[in-house]
Chains A and B, each alone.
Chain A
Amino acid sequence: MARTGGLLASYDYLDAIVDAIHDLRKAGFRELTAYVPFPEHHIEEALGYGQSPVRVWTLVGGLTGAATGFAFTTWTSMDWPLITGGKPIVSIPAYVVIAFELTILFGALSTVIGLFWNARLPNPKPMVVYDPEFSAGRFGLYVVAPPERFDEARRILEAQEPAELREDREGAHAR
């Protein structure tokens, strides 16, 4: 199957890339990838992001941790019942500490797994469509364009005065 090619533009200015994203989306280009040196909410807004599903991972992980904490302490106490300090076998207030710590632990680890899952990390693919400038200060924008719309995409990208424009007709990006 032939891969769809695309174009990679680098911009020096934040408003330039934001305008380019708006224009491309208006023209119907849906597969855009922005490369940003730091979290930039203008770009996320332009690309139309909603809520990140990572929050569900955090919630589920936290609740699992709390349940595990209470269940484990209670089960082990019942498994070998031994009265210490005149306290009940199942001493809920004391177990709150364990349940609390496990809520945090499971919640944090689950958040990280959620991040890796959703952001597709680790990413061992060769970095073909990338420029070291993207981690320094430039904003990159890659747009997937079918051959018949290649020149249209190019025109829109060029209208915002990119510092550099690279063609990727073989679709190395998709690799």
Chain B
Amino acid sequence: MATDSHRRGVLIHPDVERYSDVNRDVLKILGRPGLGWWFLFALAAAGVGLFFGAWGIQIVRGIGVSGLMSPVGWGVYVTTFVFWVGIAHSGTLISAILFLFRAPWRQSVYRAAEAMTVFAVMTAGLFPLVHLGRVWHAYWLFPYPNSRFLWPNFRSPLVWDVFAVTTYFTVSAVFFYLGSIPDVAAARDGATGLRRKLYQVISLGWRGTDREWHHFGKAYIFLAALATPLVLSVHSVVSWDFAMGIVPGWHTTIFAPYFVAGAIFSGVAMVITLIVPLRKVFGLEAYLTVKHFDALAKLCLLTSLIVLYAYVTEFFMAWYSGEEIERASFWNRLFGTYWWASWTMLVCNGMVPILLWFRRVRHSIPALFVISIFINIGMWFERYVIIVTSLHHDFVPFAWGVYRPSLVGMSIVIGSFAWFGFWFLLFTRILPPVAIAELKEVLPAPMRRFRKVGGH
């Protein structure tokens, strides 16, 4: 018991004493947005305009405007697709896997992380459509009884990907929604007028009865248990999009674990990037303590070591295989046309996280924020390096070429960040961004036996 109460004391600031304090502190976020929020929201909305504008140009004029050209048929679109799917993964890690492991620091962070997952998959899901070129044929991806009863080729990793990503989106959205129901009910009880009616509908009339909680608890555990293997499978399937091809630099068995580790690495960094401003702007210092950031930083450090190990293994295997083309491909990565991208990746993902070994860095929130941005950049470049350097320089020198992303392509990539931010900003105003009900589990329960003399 002693260690238990000790832990509780560190995870939530001692000023938060009563259950109703949690409601007060979290629900006040949902009030009238400040000027800063409107500024960011306008910026995000403009970015969403850029995204759809650029996509519109591409739809009218054809995929050529994106800069994609043989031999590089997969450019910044697939890079950004993998980037956003990867970002999503740490949200599920924090909400589902750490739930099963009963990590007590998860409580304050996970709702925001879960929202990040849902919006990141929503963003990622746009990229196969953008990349399709003829987007009006998108439904061809799904198996449906068409006039000639032609079915997709289920031996193709691209079809696996359709199943993996749609399942991932559905399950993570359901998990996110279900977890929010009791908190939306709490928001409803604190709201009036139209907002109250809206929350009553979203919360499905939740009252927190024993029957509701009993089945809810069971359903939540099973959803977490289903989401855990799912998250590992999704990025493995994404990695097989590459590894199943015989392109040098792609065709390796290390890809699945390497991609999963990289996904969690980038996602945890993105969680830090998002909750640092969230904490500051909404005054959640009592709930998101240095202890939480320390735990996230350690997760980053661990996954950065796995990713670095995978980089080293890739280079070693290319040399050790004795395969000339494989060797040339990896030499080209470091010293070829795209040397700057590879070195950005190595420095941001391999070198910068070394700082996280120091407790002082892990406990400095500004330092973590800056490091997390470096990791985000590094992980985008990792996917860029894997895709572009492998494709532009494959087997026959005659077929080599150089790819430069066009203005349209880059507008869509930048716009995707705005699209993500747009949803995330809306989320912070509509749903409680910190889990109200589960935070109460970390607080000591009020007991008559331990009643304070004089009361509160």
- Please report A residues at the B interface, Cβ cutoff 8 Å: 12-16, 32-40, 43-44, 47, 49, 52, 54-55, 58, 62, 72-73, 76-77, 79-80, 82, 84-85, 87, 91, 94-95, 97-98, 100-102, 104-105, 107-109, 111-112, 114-115, 118-125, 127, 130, 132-137, 161
Contact = CB atoms under 8 A, between A and B. Distances in A.
B214 A132 contact: no
25 contacts: A14-B445, A15-B447, A35-B209, A35-B210, A37-B208, A38-B19, A44-B214, A58-B222, A72-B143, A76-B143, A95-B154, A97-B163, A100-B229, A102-B167, A104-B167, A107-B222, A108-B170, A108-B223, A112-B174, A115-B216, A120-B212, A125-B205, A130-B207, A135-B186, A135-B188
A70 to B, nearest CB: 10
Contacts of A32: 210
A123 B219 contact: no
A74 B231 CA distance: 25
B451 interface: yes
Nearest to B152: A76
B147 interface: no
Nearest to A35: B208
Given A14-B446, A52-B218, A55-B218, 4 more contacts: A38-B438, A97-B160, A98-B160, A136-B189
B213 interface: yes
Contacts of B178: 112, 115
Interface string B367-408: 000000000000000000000000000000000000000000
Contact of B222 (A38, A54, A125): A54
Contacts of B160: 94, 97-98, 101
Interface string B157-200: 00110011001001100110010001001101110000000000
A143 to B, nearest CB: 12
B208 to A, nearest CB: 5
Given A33-B211, A35-B209, A108-B170, A84 B149 contact: no
Interface centre among B167, B217, B441 (most CB of A within 10 A): B167
Given A38-B438, A52-B215, A136 B186 contact: yes
B360 interface: no
Given A102-B167, A104-B230, A105-B167, A123 B23 contact: no
Contacts, number: 198
B318 interface: no
Contacts of A36: 208-210, 213
A97 B244 CA distance: 14
Given A38-B437, A111-B223, A115-B219, A44 B155 contact: no
B141 interface: no
Contact of B19 (A54, A91, A97, A136): A136
B225 to A, nearest CB: 8
The list of the 4 closest CB pairs from A to B, nearest first, reads A137-B19, A132-B189, A123-B205, A122-B204
Interface centre among B190, B205, B441, B447 (most CB of A within 10 A): B205
A49 B447 CA distance: 23
Given A15-B449, A72-B143, A115-B215, A91 B174 contact: no
Contacts of B207: 35, 123, 127, 130, 134
Contact of B23 (A82, A107, A135): A135
